Every structure is written in C-alpha cells, then in structure tokens.
Amino acid sequence: MATVDECRAALDKLAEQFAELDPATRTKHVVDRSISCRITDLDVTFYGRMRQDGLEPFTEVPPADGRPAEVRIRISGDDLLSMVNGELDMGRAVLGGRVKIDASLGDLLRLRKLL
C-alpha cells in the first residue's frame, strides 16, 4: 500500500511530466482549473491548480476560499503511483471504476488529451 509521502512524490512527478508538454498542446488543452486528488485508501486529499504554465505544487491545505475544486479526482494510492509511472492507463482506469473524476464534460475531454 502506498504511503502519503509516496503519493505526494507521485503528484510532484505528475507536475514534472505536465511541464514537459509542448507549449502548443498546453495552449490548446489547458485552462485554469482548481484540482483535488482524493487518495481513497489513505483518507487524504491533495489540492492543486492547473494553469497554462504548469501544475502548481499539490498540498494538503484546502483552498482558502472554501470552494470545491473544479476537477475532483478519487483514486487509490497504488493506482496513483501506477498511473504516474505509466503502468496504468487513465482511460481504462476510469472506465473500469478504479479512478473517478468529477468535472465538466469539457474538462474531461481536455484531461483525456493531457494524460
């Protein structure tokens, strides 16, 4: 079972991978959105923000405005590690119920292009 520190490191790695996207892809598919990532088996939620210039670092501190994230992801720690390491396909994980994403249809379509 993954630990909180391993999940934090995986989210940091995801931010690094996101930063490697070419500028044209980011311009076309990235919009400013708040993100929460709930690690279901660890009962912890990480909060971050997606912007044109990259993913902001994820923290365990909820946003000061108290509003729910625009993109909410629920995933187990082990599945998060597998996804970030390229061992788990996000599309199949969503279809199989291993990952749940609550977001607008437009945001879901954009995420599909980015992950």
Q: What percentage of the chain has pLDDT greater than the value 70?
A: 97
For the chain, the structural domain boundaries read: 4-114
73: three-class secondary structure by DSSP: strand
The region that residue 60 occupies, defined by phi over 0 for left and psi between -120 and 50 for alpha, beta otherwise, is: alpha
Give residue-wise pLDDT tens across range 68-107.
999 999 999 999 999 999 999 988 898 899 999 999 988 8
- Taking the C-alpha atoms of residue 58 and residue 64, their distance in angstroms, rounded to an integer, is 14
d(CA 50, CA 56): 6
CA distance 41 to 43: 6
| Top-tier CATH class for 4-114 | alpha beta
Q: Model confidence at 9, in pLDDT bands (50, 70, 90)?
A: very high
pTM value? 0.89
